[in-house]
């Protein structure tokens, strides 16, 4: 055995480090109450310790689940550190889930306490009766904003709660494999399943995701996580940013283009992270109002494929570097990030862009492979695609409470994505396996088809699904949302595919829609689209 | 417990990752044999597996020590991965130690095998008779370069050894706390003591040291570690660079200014790391020959204090960013690195430089504090100094075989350094505690005095030591090595201190020397200087 200090990797060490070594770094939050709030990591640590004492006072024990239903903000951050740091398990709930799903996961997780933002008071009042195990509800606001009366009995006030406790608290030391946070998948089919992260997996993910080849968080950044803290822990930013001393800016509930733009400018945000739909709003607002960013330099985009047109606009119009990243709830979430290597530096710009559009290179800790239907590993040639499997210390080995049974295949987690990997290790997702279109025994990836459509100036959003075809089994149908005030016909769009893709991949038909159905994490819900268009008759059929 | 994959942090996972995900990244080595050698991480992994099989064939078992006495090069790198990866312990020996010390540590470590470069054949022939436990000697060269005959019986040839084994080898999985590498301190007093790193500590150090706020190793860098692989594992670069896909360039034995300059230019080196004495040689060569660097952008300097004059020259004359870093053998070695934070960005340049001259900010994982003689923690005000203590998962808890007994103070490792820490967490070393000059009960830090002298254009190197004084106990004596062809008098130098420092800190005398005695890790050996000048009579005495 080596003779090194024996120190568990614990989430409490992150806030302790930030408070001690970057104590003066600022955390800025746009509050649900409407105003701006500012304090430092030192104060964040102090209030987290008060909250830890309060949790103890409320009878929360090691391993107990404590839920939050909240936007990105400083109180949510305090809950992150206090709950996990004290040995309990933070269960972040996605408020965009159906109320029945919210009640289901609260009961499934056996949550003891629920902390929530003002926004969600009506929603919680509606589900509270179905959540029998919850022993206490805490509204994350101050006395002045507490409702005069509420259907929730004994509703607690967050500020009162922490003010009634001392900050004299020493973070307990325990096994780093202890559970720290619980996050449910959005579960398009069946009930949501929980990913139960450990302290060890969270700290390792924080180290790895902050690396220069991944999120690249530096001490002189001002980081605004648009990705919600209820969605896989905001991609780990509440853990990776405090390692570095960067400033943090939280947008609260205001995620529209205008609110984000104003916050980016007023706070001098340099770095951000979020899903493509959020950037769509921000970009449109800036374009419509002919605005540029003064400080914004770099963003991470993931959660679904970043359309090349969006990447090009961010880089070419706004001078914002884009890091395309890929991961999933089951992966904490980061698996790959796309940053160029030395060998790419000499390439012409459009070739570089093609690399940057890939989901990228594995981050050290993660291994991946693509396999055929029989589980045989496929070569990394950048062309052949297969089912993507992953492993690593921040990837789940099973779902919470064993839901879904044995999920691993020979020690690897099957992601449900279909991908290619090139000889330099750059991975590109071609589709979700369940969205792939099976045309005459061959596969057509829908991401490519959608990206081409979205490169058309009149197209705001596009989705492609497989529709029944008597001869080919399935053929692609393109569903398009036009930009406000813009026109484009079915024929023009079909002609737009010419020369960009193999002829037989071209969609068989185009329909126009006012909006696409988005799931709780901002992804297009293709199962809804398939349902909606299941009787659509293709002209080729 | 969380439900995450259970995967130990092992050194073998580093070379496996590099080979699989950055397999085409190049490793370039200037060989001891004189020529250049190039191959990829894929080939490095393959040859490391051959070597692992060879070690097994030679009877090396889990935990056995295998020693190397070698320069920075690809064969040494293969030994890094093969020895630790297979579960044995890599013991890197500093060839600049006295032969008796080399024999002492070989015996103390109970090394089973010794791998060494051609350069060291005579040295090994001289000590072999005293190393009874070594079962085999391997000369790290090919058949053509083997000596016709050698005093070492059964001397093995490295290339023959690995060529006679297959690359069919699967890295064993074992407890991440297992010993991985052993490195002895240079031990200015008493025998060298061993720091026994674990796989866990090495992998965590690799993650932490590669962070943007620390070494900041990126996929598009070409990294040349000047810091030797026999000195605390070249500051971990053989582990952190492969995480990123960067190119590596190894300088072999040629560490003079001319050889380094030529290698930096011919290989397009972008990043490097080394002790100040190395940069002195390189800078002097470039200045004398009026040369600039075409690709070199960033260097890490540590091991002893980087003189501000050197930092200014690198930044202002050569456009090379300098990251001042601090650590020690007992810390794997990295503890702090100096990178500016947001709040520093608005400062005038000379104020920024003052920050950059500090040893910097703790890297996440490391905690530090300064204490007074009674062990009481001192405030972080950037002025008051105290004994520097550290803790973290890559810091030793005891020396190999328990030498030196209980070394920790209440769980903290005493570094033997004296430092200040400012309110932003930036630490500055003022001295080694044993080098501090005690003048009339007050402390005078020698690093400041030396830095002032080295800012004088005629001074190449300077060292300051305490000399007996009948009234004050000790007073500072400055020892100066002048630049070739430059003149400066004792009086001019003393006058040079005026206004730069408190009057009573000014040295009492100056002597000139042709060179300063350097220890095995390139540091000035102040104990030798104190010995040499112990009868020097100060004019003030
Ligand atoms: N940047 C630095 N400035 C001043 N002293 C340093 C620096 N880096 C390392 N040292 C000294 O080198 C010691 C460690 O020596 P070693 O174990 O041989 O690497 C530390 O305890 C410091 O005294």
Q: Would you state the structure tokens that stand for residue B471, as one six-digit string?
A: 């009234």
Q: Is A177 on the interface with B (CB under 8 A)?
A: yes
B57 touches B165 (CB < 8 A): yes
Q: Which of A21, A180, A247 sits opposite B361 (nearest CB)?
A: A21
Of B207, B233, B265, which marks where a domain is finished? B207
- Three-state DSSP state, A225: strand
Span B127-139, mean pLDDT? 95
Span B105-122, mean pLDDT? 97
pLDDT band at A273 (very low <50, low <70, confident <90, very high): very high
Identify whether B143 is part of a domain: yes
pLDDT beyond 70 at A189: no
Instruction: For residue B185, indicate whether it is catalytic.
Output: yes
Q: Quick check: A393 and B5 CB within 8 A? A: yes
| pLDDT (0 to 100) of residue A502 | 87
Q: Is B147 on the interface with A (CB under 8 A)?
A: no
CA distance B293 to chain A (A): 18
Question: Over B351-418, what HEC string results?
Answer: HHHHHHCCCEEECCCCEEEEECCCCCECCCCCCCCEEEEEECCCCECCCHHHCCCCCCECCEEEEEEE
pLDDT band at A520 (very low <50, low <70, confident <90, very high): confident
Higher pLDDT, B521 or B106: B106
**Taking each helix axis from N to C terminus, what angle separates B199-210 and A199-209, rounded to the nearest 10 degrees?**
40
CA distance A147 to chain B (A): 37
Q: Residue A64: which residues within 8 A CB-CB, separation 6 or more?
A: A88, A89, A112
Residues 93-132 of B with CB under 8 A from A: none
Q: Is A405 on the interface with B (CB under 8 A)?
A: no
Q: Is A84 on the interface with B (CB under 8 A)?
A: no
pLDDT band at B454 (very low <50, low <70, confident <90, very high): very high
| pLDDT (0 to 100) of residue A46 | 98
Would residue B523 be called left, alpha or beta, if left means φ above 0 and alpha means ψ between -120 and 50 degrees? Answer: beta
| pLDDT (0 to 100) of residue A188 | 62
Query: For residue A439, what is the domain's CATH number?
Result: 3.30.300.30
Most B-contacting residue of A62, A212, A369 (CB-CB within 10 A), to test interface: A212
pLDDT in tens, B283-301: 999 999 999 999 999 999 9
Least-confidence region, from A395-404, A432-441, B350-359: A432-441
Query: Measured between alpha carbons, how far is B177 from B362 in angstroms, rounded to an integer?
Result: 23
- Three-state DSSP state, A496: helix
Higher pLDDT, A443 or B119: B119
Whether B187 is in the pocket of ligand 1, judged by its Cβ within 6 Å, is no
Identify whether B35 is part of a domain: yes
Span B102-126, mean pLDDT? 96
Q: What is the rounded average pLDDT for all residues in chain A?
A: 95
> B244 contacts in A (CB within 8 Å)?
211-213, 364
Instruction: For residue B403, indicate whether it is catalytic.
Output: no
Span B247-265, mean pLDDT? 97
Nearest alpha carbon to residue B460 among B476, B445, B479: B479
A120 touches A139 (CB < 8 A): no
Identify whether B32 is part of a domain: yes
* pTM, rounded to two decimals: 0.95
> A422 contacts in B (CB within 8 Å)?
none
pLDDT beyond 90 at A442: no
Q: Which of B1, B339, B341 sits opposite A198 (nearest CB)?
A: B1
Distance B416 CA to ligand 1 centre (A): 9
Query: Measured between alpha carbons, how far is A308 from A522 in angstroms, rounded to an integer?
Result: 18
Ligand 1 pocket mutation, candidates B274, B429, B431, criterion most atoms within 8 A of CB = B429
CA distance A188 to chain B (A): 22
Query: Measured between alpha carbons, how far is B432 from B447 in angstroms, rounded to an integer?
Result: 9
How many residue pairs from chains A and B have C-beta atoms closer than 8 A?
221
| pLDDT (0 to 100) of residue B370 | 98
Ligand 1 pocket mutation, candidates B192, B327, B337, criterion most atoms within 8 A of CB = B327
Distance B425 CA to ligand 1 centre (A): 18
Highest mean pLDDT among A168-172, A498-502, B434-438: A168-172
Query: For residue B153, what is the domain's CATH number?
Result: 3.40.50.12780
Identify whether B190 is part of a domain: yes
pLDDT in tens, A354-391: 999 999 999 999 999 999 999 999 999 999 999 999 99
Nearest alpha carbon to residue A257 among A226, A282, A225: A282
Identify whether A58 is part of a domain: yes
Nearest alpha carbon to residue A240 among A206, A280, A192, A283: A206
Element holding A84 (H helix, E strand): helix A74-85
pLDDT in tens, A121-136: 999 999 999 999 999 9
Least-confidence region, from A162-176, A394-408, A435-449, B399-413: A435-449
Measured between CA atoms, the residue of chain A closest to residue B245 is A341
Q: Residue B400: which residues within 8 A CB-CB, separation 6 or more?
A: A3, B108, B109, B182, B193, B194, B195, B196
Report the complex ipTM.
Answer: 0.94
Q: Whose CA is nearest to atom 16 of ligand 1?
A: B328
pLDDT beyond 70 at B188: no
Half-sphere exposure of B288 (CA within 13 A, CB side): 12
Of A180, A207, A234, which marks where a domain is finished? A207
CA distance B446 to chain A (A): 27
Domain boundaries, position A88: 1-207
Identify whether A92 is part of a domain: yes
Q: Would you state the structure tokens that stand for residue B363, as one six-digit string?
A: 């890297």
Nearest-10 Cα torsion for A183, A186, A187, A192: 40
Q: Residue B445: which residues within 8 A CB-CB, separation 6 or more?
A: B385, B418, B430, B431, B436, B437
pLDDT beyond 80 at B189: no
| Residue in A330, A380, A420, A521 annotated catalytic | A330
Identify whether A416 is part of a domain: no
Identify whether A85 is part of a domain: yes
Peptide bond connecting B150 to the previous residue in cis, omega within 30 degrees of 0: no
Span A38-58, mean pLDDT? 98
Angle formed at CA B409 by CA B404 and CA B413, multiple of 5 degrees: 75
Query: Measured between alpha carbons, how far is A532 from A514 in angstroms, rounded to an integer?
Result: 14
Q: Residue A248: which residues within 8 A CB-CB, separation 6 or more?
A: A25, A26, A27, A28, A77, A222, A223, A224, A225, A237, A241
Span B358-375, mean pLDDT? 97
| Residue in A61, A401, A434, A438 annotated catalytic | A438
pLDDT band at A93 (very low <50, low <70, confident <90, very high): very high
pLDDT in tens, A290-349: 999 999 999 999 998 999 999 999 999 999 999 999 999 999 999 999 999 988 988 999
CA distance to A217, A312, A348, per residue, from A357 (Å): 21, 10, 15
| pLDDT (0 to 100) of residue A187 | 64
Q: Which of B179, B212, B243 sits opposite A1 (nearest CB)?
A: B179
Count of domains observed in chain A? 2
| pLDDT (0 to 100) of residue B496 | 95
Whether B333 is in the pocket of ligand 1, judged by its Cβ within 6 Å, is yes
Q: Which of A22, A218, A361 sits opposite B212 (nearest CB)?
A: A218
Q: Is B407 on the interface with A (CB under 8 A)?
A: no
Least-confidence region, from A349-363, B136-150, B439-453: B439-453
Span A211-218, mean pLDDT? 95
| pLDDT (0 to 100) of residue B190 | 77
pLDDT in tens, B473-527: 999 999 999 998 999 999 999 999 999 998 999 999 999 999 999 988 788 999 9
| pLDDT (0 to 100) of residue B187 | 65
Of B207, B223, B245, which marks where a domain is finished? B207
| pLDDT (0 to 100) of residue A309 | 93
């Amino acid at each position: 055995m080596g003779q090194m200090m024996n120190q568990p990797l614990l989430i409490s060490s992150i806030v302790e480090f930030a408070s001690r070594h970057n104590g003066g770094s600022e955390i800025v939050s746009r509050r649900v109450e409407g105003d701006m709030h500012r304090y430092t990591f030192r104060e964040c640590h102090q209030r987290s310790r008060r909250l830890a004492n309060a949790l103890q006072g409320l009878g929360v024990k090691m391993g107990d689940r404590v839920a939050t239903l909240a936007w990105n903000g400083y109180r949510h951050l305090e809950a992150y550190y206090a709950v996990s740091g004290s040995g309990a398990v933070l269960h972040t709930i996605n408020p965009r889930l159906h109320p029945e799903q919210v009640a289901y996961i609260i009961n499934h997780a056996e949550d003891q306490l629920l902390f929530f933002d003002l926004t969600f008071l009506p929603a919680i009042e509606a589900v509270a009766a179905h959540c029998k195990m919850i022993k206490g509800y805490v509204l994350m606001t101050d006395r002045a904003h507490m409702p005069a009366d509420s259907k929730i009995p004994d509703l607690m006030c967050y500020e009162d709660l922490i003010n009634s406790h001392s900050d004299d608290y020493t973070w307990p030391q325990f096994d780093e494999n202890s559970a720290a946070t619980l996050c449910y998948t959005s579960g398009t089919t069946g009930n949501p399943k929980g990913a139960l992260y450990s302290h060890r997996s969270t700290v390792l993910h924080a180290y790895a995701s902050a690396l220069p080849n991944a999120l690249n968080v530096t001490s002189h950044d001002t980081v605004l996580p648009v990705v919600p803290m209820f969605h896989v822990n905001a991609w780990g930013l509440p853990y990776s940013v405090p390692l570095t001393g960067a400033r943090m800016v939280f947008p609260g509930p205001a995620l529209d283009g205008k609110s984000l733009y104003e916050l980016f400018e007023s706070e001098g945000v340099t770095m951000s992270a979020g899903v493509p739909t959020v950037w769509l709003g921000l970009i449109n607002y800036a374009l419509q109002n002919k605005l540029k960013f003064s400080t914004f330099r770099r963003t991470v985009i993931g959660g679904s494929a970043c359309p090349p047109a969006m990447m090009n606009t961010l880089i070419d119009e706004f001078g914002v570097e884009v890091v395309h990243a890929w991961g999933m709830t089951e992966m904490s979430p980061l698996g790959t990030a796309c940053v160029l290597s030395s060998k790419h530096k000499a390439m012409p710009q459009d070739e570089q862009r093609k690399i940057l559009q890939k989901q990228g290179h594995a981050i050290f800790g993660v291994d991946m492979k693509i396999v055929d239907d029989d589980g045989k590993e496929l070569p990394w040639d950048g062309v052949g695609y297969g089912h993507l499997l992953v492993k690593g210390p921040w990837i789940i080995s099973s779902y919470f409470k064993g839901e879904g049974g044995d999920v691993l295949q020979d020690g690897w987690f099957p992601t449900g994505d279909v991908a290619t990997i090139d000889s330099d290790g750059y991975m590109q997702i071609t589709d979700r396996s369940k969205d792939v279109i099976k045309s005459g025994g061959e596969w057509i990836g829908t991401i490519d088809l959608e990206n081409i459509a979205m490169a058309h100036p009149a197209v705001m959003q596009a989705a492609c699904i497989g529709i029944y075809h008597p001869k080919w089994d399935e053929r692609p149908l393109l569903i398009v949302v036009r930009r406000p005030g813009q026109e484009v016909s079915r024929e023009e769009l079909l002609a737009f595919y010419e020369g960009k893709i193999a002829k037989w991949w071209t969609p068989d038909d185009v329909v126009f829609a006012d909006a696409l159905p988005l799931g709780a994490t901002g992804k297009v819900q293709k199962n809804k689209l398939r349902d909606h268009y299941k009787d659509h008759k293709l002209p080729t059929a």
